[in-house]
Amino acid sequence: MLESVSWRTLFAYLGDALWVIGLTIMFAASRQAAGRTAGRPRLRYLGGRGPRNLVLWGLPAASFAVSLWPALQARMVAEETSFVLFGVRAVSASLLALLHLRGLRDTLKP
């Protein structure tokens, strides 16, 4: 059964799984931070200040939008380059999640 699955399909699904994990981390952290920052209209984020909703939900929403294009490309890329696209998707998902967590660290400081 597994020998009938192409590498392109396997790498596409693995990349999707990594993006789901990264987005879950971002949205869960934002949800927790929303509860801890209730009543504060502006929050610190990555060295600046911004509106609460933009700070908490801007990067996760933008990351979701960005994740759609590589997900579509992963299904159309050649078999030989599917591993490279998987690597790009894996690194970008994890780096965006880490960036968001770093920003929320500033947000949650009193």
**What residues pair up with 49 in beta bridges, in sequence order?**
44
Report CA dihedral (31, 35, 37, 39) to the nearest 10 degrees.
120
State the pLDDT confidence band at 1, using cuts at 50, 70 and 90.
Answer: low
Residue-wise pLDDT for 63-90, tens only, equals 999 999 999 999 999 989 999 999 999 9
Can you tell me which residue has the tokens 């396997």? Answer: 10
33: CB partners within 8 A, 6+ apart: 56, 104, 107, 108
Give CA–CA dist 33/53, Å, rounded.
11
